[in-house]
Every structure is written in structure tokens, then in C-alpha cells.
């Protein structure tokens, strides 16, 4: 597994791990570890997850990957604070390319990836769940692609979502921005 937080001198504050990795009996558990930011997918978190998945791909001891989120939610999607701090088309394109590469890494991983969702999974967080091979969710989990509520069409989650739930259900989620609960997610 890669170093997930850079070493710091003793006097400097410790950078928290944005991704925790634990392995036992062929199961590697990866935990998005930004609970204070609702596990928003920052560029740092996406880079750590992508690097870890690339290493796992070559590790024959790993038979399955379980992806979860620390704290009260699975993931609220892209880190909007980071996006606002780095505005501009080039920065957004770079971020979305990074996200697309991460999602492709999940689909290309030889081991199955299981999303273990709870709380909410919205926008790119919903995309992350939809990209995984399987998903399990706590009864109170809610899913949404709410970009339309602020004038955005969530085109990147559209691909994974339409593959996971079908075109019409995906379009309903994408065009309304409405939350669906875990029970409805199972139905579609």
C-alpha cells in the first residue's frame, strides 16, 4: 500500500490520512477518511485511492476490495471548496479527468470492488457507488445526483449510473436531482 500521508517533522502538525487501508484474509478495506468534509472527493483523496487501487491490481493476495466512508456519510461527491478555491476551466477539466481515471481504475481492477454505503452518496459519491462491481447500503442510505438543482447536469456520474440502474432510472435521478433511498435503489 502507498504512503497515504506524508511524513512530517515532530513539531509540525500531522496530516491526517485521507484514505485508510486495512487488509485481512484476502479482503482489503479502503475507507474514505475525510469525515469532517463528508468524505468529499478532493484531488488528494482521489489520487490516494487511485494509487492504492493500482497497487492492489497486482497483489494476488487481495481477493476483494471493500470501499466505505468514515463518519456519517459515504461521500458527498467532489470537494466543492477545493473547486471554488481553484476555479477555471483547466482546473475543472483536470479534476474531472482525474475522477474519470479513478472510475476506470475501479472497473479495470481484476478484483471485485464492493461499495459499502451509508448516510448519503451524492454526485461523484453516487458515481463511485455505481462504478463499483457490487454495492451494499445501510437502510437509511440515500443517493442523488443533485447537480441539476444548481444548474449543472451531472454528466460524469451519468455513465456509471446508467450502467448500474438502467437508462430511464438514471435519467430520472439526473434530471430531477431527487434523493432515492436504499429501498428504491434496490428496486431500480
The per-residue pLDDT for 82 is 94
The per-residue pLDDT for 16 is 63
Task: Give the list of residues 6+ apart from residue 96 with CB closer than 8 angstroms, or none.
Answer: 156
CB 151 within 8 A of CB 159: no
The per-residue pLDDT for 151 is 73
In this prediction the pTM is 0.88
CB 39 within 8 A of CB 19: no
Cβ atoms within 10 A of the Cβ of 98, count?
Answer: 15
Q: Which three cell numbers stand for residue 43?
A: 484531488
Domains of the chain, earliest start first: 19-179 (3.90.226.10)
In order along the chain (188 residues), what is the average pLDDT of each group of 10 residues?
42 65 95 98 96 96 98 97 93 93 98 99 97 98 89 78 92 93 94
Amino acid at each position: 500500500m502507498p504512503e497515504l500521508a506524508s511524513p512530517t517533522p515532530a513539531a509540525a502538525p500531522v496530516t491526517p490520512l485521507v484514505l485508510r487501508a486495512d487488509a485481512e484474509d484476502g479482503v482489503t478495506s479502503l475507507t474514505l477518511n475525510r469525515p469532517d468534509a463528508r468524505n468529499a472527493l478532493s484531488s488528494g483523496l482521489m489520487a490516494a485511492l487511485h494509487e492504492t487501487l493500482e497497487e492492489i491490481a497486482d497483489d494476488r493476495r487481495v481477493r476483494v476490495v471493500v470501499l466505505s466512508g468514515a463518519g456519517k456519510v459515504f461521500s458527498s461527491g467532489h470537494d466543492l471548496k477545493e473547486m471554488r478555491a481553484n476555479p477555471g476551466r483547466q482546473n475543472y477539466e483536470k479534476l474531472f479527468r482525474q475522477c474519470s481515471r479513478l472510475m476506470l481504475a475501479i472497473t479495470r481492477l481484476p478484483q471485485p470492488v464492493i461499495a459499502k454505503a451509508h448516510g448519503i452518496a451524492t454526485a461523484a459519491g453516487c458515481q463511485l457507488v455505481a462504478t463499483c462491481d457490487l454495492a451494499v447500503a445501510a437502510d437509511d442510505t440515500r443517493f442523488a445526483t443533485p447537480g441539476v438543482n444548481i444548474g449543472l447536469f451531472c454528466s460524469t456520474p451519468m455513465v456509471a449510473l446508467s450502467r448500474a440502474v438502467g437508462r430511464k432510472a438514471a435519467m430520472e435521478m439526473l434530471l430531477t436531482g431527487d434523493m432515492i433511498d436504499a429501498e428504491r435503489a434496490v428496486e431500480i
